[in-house]
Amino acid sequence: MDTGIFPIQSWADFEQQFQSQFFLVNAEADAVNALEGSTYYQGNRTVDDYLDSFLTLVSDTGYTDPRTLVVKFHRGLRTNIQGQIATMPFGRPADTDPEAWYAAARRIDQARLTNEAFQSTLRSTTTAPTRSALPRSTPLSMFRLPQSTPPPVPRDPLRLYRPEECLWTWTPSGRRALHLHEDVIDAESPIIS
C-alpha cells in the first residue's frame, strides 16, 4: 500500500539502496578476479570496446598504479597490437603512462580497421568476372592481355667504351652511375630501337 511517504531520507540512504539493487554484491572482487585472469582480454573486439570494458574493471577494482594499469592493459591486447606498441622505434609510450598506451593502441587499431576497409573495397572492385557472368556472345579471347614486345637488347656489357662515350653521374643515394651517350652507335653491338 502506498503511504505517500518517501522511504529514503538522505543521499547516502539512496546510494546504498541503489547499489544494493543494481550492482553486484562483490563487484570489486569480481573485477580483481577478472583482471588477474584472462577473461578480460581483447579477443576479437576493437580496441575501443576492449578499452571500455578494461576501464570499467579498473574503476571497479580501484587500481591506480600506472605501471599496473599498463601491464594489465598490455597483457590483454591482441599480440599483434602488443608487439607494434612495444617495438615502436619512436614515440613508444612509457610503461608508467597508461593514457599514452591507450592512445597508441587506438591509433594502431584504427589504422588496421582502415586498411581492412581499403582492402575489402579493393578486392570487390578488382574481382574478375566469372565465366558465367560474361555474356555468351563475348569470346574469352577478348579478355586476354596483349603480348608485349620483347625488351630492347642492351649494349654489349663486355665491350670497352671510349671515355667520350661515357658520362659518370651520382645517384640520389650516393652511388656512382655510368651512362652511355645515346648518339654513340657501335656496329658490333646492335641496338634495337
> Residue ranges per domain, the chain?
13-124, 153-193
Alpha-carbon gap, residue 70 to 138, rounded angstroms: 61
Strands (DSSP E) along the chain, which ranges?
Answer: 166-170, 176-180
Cell reading at 48: 575501443
Banded pLDDT at 80 (limits 50, 70, 90): very high
The residue whose grid cell reads 518517501 is 6
Q: How far apart are CA 193 and CA 189, in angstroms?
A: 13
DSSP lists the bridge partners of residue 180 as: 166
- At 44-58, the pLDDT tens digits run 999 999 999 999 888
Joined grid coordinates for residue 149: 614486345
- pTM of the full structure: 0.52
Task: Name, of 12-16, 66-70, 172-176, the range with top average pLDDT.
Answer: 66-70
In this prediction, residue 108 carries a pLDDT of 92
Q: What is the dihedral of CA 81, 84, 87, 88, to 10 degrees?
A: -120
98-125 and 47-61 helices, crossing angle to 10°: 160
pLDDT interval class at 174 (50, 70, 90): low
Can you give the pLDDT at residue 180?
59
Which letter does DSSP use for residue 7 in this model?
S
- Give the C-alpha separation, 106 to 99, whole Å: 11
pLDDT band per the 50, 70, 90 thresholds, residue 188: very low
Residue 146 has a pLDDT of 56
Of 21 and 65, more confident = 65
